[in-house]
A and B are shown apart, each in its own frame.
Chain A
């Protein structure tokens, strides 16, 4: 309840602040949105086909592991940095 209240308060505050803005920023041009939609639509189509071939469960695991491989060094660096901050495991 405590965190729920805090989070909701933040969300309400942000909504209020944004809604109080005296101007409305124009939307992204439809041409650009169409291009972005083209990317996401085809990404969804390809992902759908890959789910068909790989099965949805395996495809999800495939994406997760692939992302993990791509950002492996970064993830490792973060984990290693956190571990070094823990004194009793003595990592230098």
Chain B
């Protein structure tokens, strides 16, 4: 009998242990295993070869031009480069025999801290390989390739096959002496174009060159230690002469003309151009000017002059250039300038829809030759002043936001132009001053929680205003019916006065049943704007009863208020009125049934209509059971001090009793830890070596269980004189993530099985012994 009970007790204990044990490790290994197969591109902006900044003058070769020049897209991946190595300090070294044997197992690492630029992820496809190439340039930023021409073959310094994400980093020396290019080789060019976009690297930072090391070098009889860098040796062949560029001019602006020509095609190398620009009969000749772009733009505003551009092209490869092509030329003739137009007059109109912009328009003048274009200048004299300066436009209107109080001014000049030459601007310009007062914006909020359906909800704003109801479409006019407002509802009004004629705004809200409407109406003096508006009259009604206009009413639309008064008794809310209540708001309270506070439930600070009176604005005592207010107004308003009558419920009594018992009998660590720390310090200070076992046990526990740190390497302690690393699993996980994850899962599974089996054997032994 006793044995059976004992067996049950231990069975339950072990079942619990097994469940806890299983749940404790089930998440992490499975989660990490699932991520092994994630081969998606981790970054939308992967890096590519650097070719910019201060060192952009480096002359790349054709073979790499498509990868690195001008951040062009990868279109073909057929590198024919050569790779040799050189020590960092020596002039050159020969790695050809290694490359000939396709030495693998190379890694490239940075010399110092990682840079903050040029990193990206590339999702490899099956068969993809990575090639790292260093460009080691002489002081003239050119390679001395003659010594090595044709001597070496292509090398895969780092080859990665299959799937996986590999992060590459591009680094440049600040002195331009070394460049590192990373090239992804793939049998499918679409892979690169899809997932490997070019990106100009940021400015290079301090010495961040690369060290190339090998884990295995078994080629020939020479072992190459770390510190070697790769040198890219380009081809020495000269490029062919490209096709002749065909130059044509097009009007660029009223005063300028652009000559451009189609890019010349180079079989090898990169096309570059020279042009000569002449003006006759003025007699100007620019001489030949080299350029790598395929367009030039010149000012051609002088009438009755012949402007001519002559262009030649050639191809350049590794500093070797082909002969120039034949010339292509094109010219334009500056026509006599058109006559000036007549004057321009401006008019002003509003954008009637948004009412935030003002449009200045003007009537296009008559041009005897050409078409008119304009200069306008836009100024604001308030609040900080603004002057746009003269701005050219071909439109006959400009549109500006004019929501800030101030004087807006637009001055317009017109001229006639034929696209090449233009007349003088008309001397007579017109301007127009438009004064605009900041629109009145009222954030008027109502929070409804009335029983039943509100059947008659209207808003009237006088004089004619624009209003936007938060729960309806934009409206314009005096009234909009909002029927069947769900309860509770929240309506926000945004009102704007743009008349400038009327300085009084009436805001009226009707709600309640159709046969017994209640309304709230306010008149505001809106001479300036709402923030300084003064309420002229308060004419609110509740259930048809007028409210006392002599009172100032305060809104207390505090967001928490609604929730506060939904809490069960008791509730005590206290907030000091540390800032002003905007008294031009009105405030009404409801109990949710009769539509306003019942007089019997409030003290004298609430009048017979349930209106909160500012004669005693900060003290309000009500019965929380009846206090069910409806609030509206600006969120800037403060909730007044509200003190509910304290009638403890049984539930709350038990809660407080529980809290008291907990406080009385359960010690908290925070209240003990200061004395515990003090004792520990005293203990270790005074007792010396006697305290050592305690310290050792504490450290032992912290080492084993007191830390959650994990590391992929084992480091020996300082007793060995350094931070020697016994073994490193980091590379294992990085290089073989799939295998690592599976090994992790298998190891955890085997360990779990052994532990569970051991517990089971212990359990069985105990049971059998009984």
Give A contacts to B, CB under 8 Å. 1-4, 7-8, 11-12, 14-15, 18-19, 21, 24-29, 32-49, 51-58, 60-63, 65-66, 68-69, 72, 76, 80, 83, 89-92
Instruction: Determine the residue in chain B with the shortest Cβ distance to A76.
Output: B766
Whether the Cβ atoms of A42 and B5 lie closer than 8 Å is no
A55 / chain B contacts, CB cutoff of 8 Å: 25, 28-29, 32, 710, 744, 748
Whether the Cβ atoms of B28 and A14 lie closer than 8 Å is no
Q: Chain A interface mostly helix, strand, loop or mixed?
A: helix
The 10 closest A-B pairs by CB, nearest first: A58-B25, A25-B688, A55-B28, A41-B717, A44-B703, A51-B710, A11-B675, A28-B689, A61-B24, A4-B667
Whether the Cβ atoms of B666 and A3 lie closer than 8 Å is yes
B665 / chain A contacts, CB cutoff of 8 Å: 1-3
Cβ distance B662 to chain A, nearest Cβ, rounded Å: 10
Report B648-670 CB contacts with A as 1/0, cut-off 8 Å: 00000000000000011111100
A12 with B675, Cβ < 8 A, contacts A41-B717, A72-B762 known: yes
Whether the Cβ atoms of B709 and A53 lie closer than 8 Å is no
B687 at the interface (CB under 8 A from A): yes
B91 at the interface (CB under 8 A from A): no
What are 15 A-B residue pairs whose CB atoms fall within 8 Å in the complex?
A: A7-B667, A8-B675, A12-B675, A25-B686, A29-B689, A37-B719, A42-B716, A42-B717, A43-B700, A48-B709, A49-B710, A51-B709, A54-B744, A69-B759, A89-B5
Q: Please measure, in the bound complex, the distance between the C-alpha atom of A2 and the C-alpha atom of B744, giving whole angstroms.
A: 50
Cβ distance B761 to chain A, nearest Cβ, rounded Å: 10
Contact among B1, B32, B690, B747 for A25, CB-based, below 8 A: B690
Whether the Cβ atoms of A57 and B25 lie closer than 8 Å is yes
A39 / chain B contacts, CB cutoff of 8 Å: 700
A35 / chain B contacts, CB cutoff of 8 Å: 719
Q: Please measure, in the bound complex, the distance between the C-alpha atom of A29 and the C-alpha atom of B97, giving whole angstroms.
A: 59
Whether the Cβ atoms of A8 and B671 lie closer than 8 Å is yes
Q: Please measure, in the bound complex, the distance between the C-alpha atom of A51 and the C-alpha atom of B29, giving whole angstroms.
A: 11
A40 with B700, Cβ < 8 A, contacts A14-B679, A51-B710, A57-B27 known: yes
A52 with B729, Cβ < 8 A, contacts A4-B672, A47-B704, A89-B5 known: yes
Instruction: Determine the residue in chain A with the shortest Cβ distance to B674.
Output: A8
Cβ distance A64 to chain B, nearest Cβ, rounded Å: 8
* 8 Å CB interface, B1-53 against A: 1-2, 5-6, 9, 17, 20-21, 24-25, 27-29, 32
A15 with B5, Cβ < 8 A, contacts A26-B688, A48-B710 known: no
Whether the Cβ atoms of A19 and B755 lie closer than 8 Å is no
Whether the Cβ atoms of A60 and B685 lie closer than 8 Å is no
Whether the Cβ atoms of B717 and A25 lie closer than 8 Å is no
A61 / chain B contacts, CB cutoff of 8 Å: 20-21, 24-25
Cβ distance B492 to chain A, nearest Cβ, rounded Å: 49
Whether the Cβ atoms of A49 and B711 lie closer than 8 Å is yes
